[in-house]
Amino acid sequence: MPDASNPSPPRFLLFEYSELNPNFRDNPHALLDPQRADRPVEHDGMLPAMLITAYAAGRETLRDPDLSRNFNNAAPNNPVIANVRRLNAAVEAEFGRHDSIVILDGEDHTRVRNIIAEAFLKRAAAMQARVSEIVDARLDALSGRDSFDVVADYAAQIPMRVLGALMGCPDDSLDDLKRWTEAGQVAFDPTKSAEQEELALDGRRGILGHFQTLMAARRADPQDDLVSDLLAAQAAGAPIDDNEILHNLFAVLVAGHLTTSDLIANGVSLLLDHPDARDAILATPALIQPAVEEILRYEPPISFTARFPKADGQVSRCPYHAGDALVVSLIATNRDPGRFDAPHAFDINRRPNPHMAFGAGAHICVGAPLARLEGQIALLKLFERFPNLRRAGGTSSEWRAVPGVRGLVRLDVTV
């Protein structure tokens, strides 16, 4: 723990331990391991924020019902949150308040999440055959090629097609939805350019406009899809209004694309680096289930999540003020030696595997079953189709410089 008699200079923790720092991207654990050992909970030296790297403290924070997930409760001088607020405010006049479960708290969160989760999970549970078809079609499209980029040519091609099929977005809208969603990944980046901000804003408008049109079409003529299910639930008396449906459709789409694409590409990269694990999965395909859990633990696609206290308090005796962002580093909690034996070993037989890649508490990822299904099918089928898959010579992993994201820029392979 820090020595109070010998205070160290203030540190810009949220930069140092974010993907904006190239050293962090290259090897986050070289920085996170000593941080977690010495200062498992520490207040940022400059920002109204606290960095939590220990598993127990992180879990306790995410599960605390008194902490808010609504960034409108964050201190106004937090530049990261100011960004997201600005994006939301810019579209509010046209598309209403951002009432998604991502930021709702308490009773409103429970009310809306129950309705969204019930409809979404019913659809997700019936997606196995469709996901397999989508994956097979992507593999067919790659056949005959000597090499390809796993990220752009495979992983990123799957989730939007799955989401389109589940939600009811027409095939000819998927390229736009993918481009708009990807433009929005800079939402939490305080260093983004004016041009990137404009593209993110256009993307947000595009997606919301798309779902506004789709809701009107499905209300007039229901189909076999999530949008129709939510409108039917509302018509049958479920307490959810049009604005809440619209913004939750937005949230599901945006939360379900790059996250799952990164899970698949991170998984390919890890299995290329661990041929014994890949061979074990090919010999015993049921191993893909614990393997995906280990991939999620080892390289979690969302590297941090946050809560915002409405009153002063403390985590593990480290005090915070109302409005501070309590940032939980999932990439750090998932490698906490206090929770996981040999945390830096990639072990597909690790059981139990209580990783925090999907967060924890009331806001735990609602899309986790679909992400797992896509990850399992996409990884197993890829290695079955291309058993000799190798990294293309001379390439090394380059991670995207996007705060909160653990995802590869590209992953070139030969077949």
Asked whether position 302 contacts ligand HEM by CB under 6 A, the answer is yes
Shortest Å, Cβ 205 to ligand HEM: 20
Phi/psi zone of residue 44: left (φ > 0), alpha (ψ -120 to 50 degrees), beta? beta
Question: Residue 157 CA to chain centroid, in angstroms?
Answer: 17
Shortest Å, Cβ 262 to ligand HEM: 7
Among 102, 134, 379, 408, binds ligand HEM (CB under 6 A): 102
Phi, psi of 61 (to 5 degrees): -65, -50
Binding mask 38-77 for ligand HEM (x = CB under 6 A): ------------------------x---------------
Asked whether position 101 contacts ligand HEM by CB under 6 A, the answer is yes
Binding mask 112-141 for ligand HEM (x = CB under 6 A): -x----------------------------
Instruction: Compare residues 348 and 357 and give the one whose CB is closer to ligand HEM.
Output: 357
Instruction: Compare residues 59 and 197 and give the one whose CB is closer to ligand HEM.
Output: 59
- Burial class, 41, CB count within 10 angstroms (exposed 0-12 / middle 13-18 / buried 19+): buried
Instruction: Compare residues 95 and 358 and give the one whose CB is closer to ligand HEM.
Output: 358
Interface stretch with ligand HEM, choices 33-41, 126-134, 331-339, 351-359 (CB under 6 A) = 351-359
Interface stretch with ligand HEM, choices 2-10, 251-259, 315-323, 338-346 (CB under 6 A) = 251-259
Asked whether position 156 contacts ligand HEM by CB under 6 A, the answer is no
Distance CA 322, CA 254 (A): 29
Which of 226, 223, 183 minimizes the C-alpha distance to 207?
Answer: 183
Shortest Å, Cβ 112 to ligand HEM: 9
Asked whether position 187 contacts ligand HEM by CB under 6 A, the answer is no
Shortest Å, Cβ 142 to ligand HEM: 22
Distance CA 172, CA 201 (A): 21
Interface stretch with ligand HEM, choices 91-99, 217-225, 253-261, 276-284 (CB under 6 A) = 253-261
Instruction: Compare residues 227 and 366 and give the one whose CB is closer to ligand HEM.
Output: 366
Which of 299, 290, 239 minimizes the C-alpha distance to 268?
Answer: 299
Which of 374, 157, 412 minimizes the C-alpha distance to 269?
Answer: 412
For residue 47, what are its two tokens?
């920002």
Asked whether position 169 contacts ligand HEM by CB under 6 A, the answer is no
Shortest Å, Cβ 303 to ligand HEM: 9
Sign of CA dihedral 19, 24, 26, 28: negative
Shortest Å, Cβ 3 to ligand HEM: 33
Distance CA 336, CA 338 (A): 5
Residues that bind ligand HEM (rule: CB under 6 A) add up to a total of: 28
Which of 187, 182, 141 minimizes the C-alpha distance to 159?
Answer: 182
Interface stretch with ligand HEM, choices 90-98, 131-139, 213-221, 297-305 (CB under 6 A) = 297-305
Phi/psi zone of residue 237: left (φ > 0), alpha (ψ -120 to 50 degrees), beta? left
Distance CA 359, CA 363 (A): 7
Among 54, 240, 370, 405, binds ligand HEM (CB under 6 A): 370
CB 280 within 8 Å of CB 287: yes
**Which residues are CB-neighbours of 275 under 8 A, at least 6 positions away?**
none
Asked whether position 260 contacts ligand HEM by CB under 6 A, the answer is yes
Shortest Å, Cβ 64 to ligand HEM: 11
Distance CA 303, CA 306 (A): 11
Residue with the shortest CB distance to ligand HEM: 367
Interface stretch with ligand HEM, choices 28-36, 129-137, 222-230, 354-362 (CB under 6 A) = 354-362
Among 246, 265, 366, 377, binds ligand HEM (CB under 6 A): 366
Contacts 24+ apart (CB under 8 A), 409-413: 409/151, 410/149, 410/150, 410/151, 410/152, 411/149, 411/150, 411/151, 411/265, 411/268, 411/269, 412/147, 412/148, 412/149, 412/150, 413/147, 413/148, 413/149, 413/150, 413/268, 413/272, 413/386, 413/389
CB 318 within 8 Å of CB 50: yes
Asked whether position 363 contacts ligand HEM by CB under 6 A, the answer is yes
Shortest Å, Cβ 4 to ligand HEM: 32
Residues that bind ligand HEM (CB under 6 A): 62, 101-102, 113, 163, 251-252, 255-256, 259-260, 263, 300-302, 305, 357-361, 363-367, 370-371
